[in-house]
Amino acid sequence: MVIPTDILISMKRIEIVINEDSIDELLEMLHTTDVRGYTVIKKAGGLGSTGMRDPDDYALKENNMIIVLACKEDQAENVIMTIHPRLKEFGGMCLISDCQWTIGPAESY
């Protein structure tokens, strides 16, 4: 499959895994960077720096959330520089990768 390049915009994809107790503070920080949109995925599980997180465990209600967003490179730099000082305290991880956005409504990116 060949996608015409005139319908794509080069962007940065940012994925943040964070303890649900810190989500409000992280979202507040994202709003200061003028991020236009993001997706929040609740009850993420896995093994990481804070240990095992099982979203189906009823005894230990320690859930992670995943925030996914795409933005232009200059805005991605602003996002990372804003949240970086707090990432260790949030107890999660942040991944940045190149991606292609299919051109749509300008409000989205």
CB burial of residue 92 (10 Å; 0-12, 13-18, 19+): buried
Question: What is the per-residue pLDDT across 5-43, written as a single tens digit (0 to 9) for each?
Answer: 888 989 999 999 988 888 999 999 999 998 888 999 987
Q: Give which of 93, 89, 13, 86 is closest to 47, Cα–Cα.
A: 93
Euclidean distance between CA atoms 109 and 106, whole angstroms: 6
Q: What is the DSSP letter of 103?
A: P
Domains of the chain: 5-103 (3.30.70.120)
Question: What is the per-residue pLDDT across 40-82, written as a single tens digit (0 to 9) for each?
Answer: 998 776 666 665 565 556 555 667 889 999 999 999 999 999 9
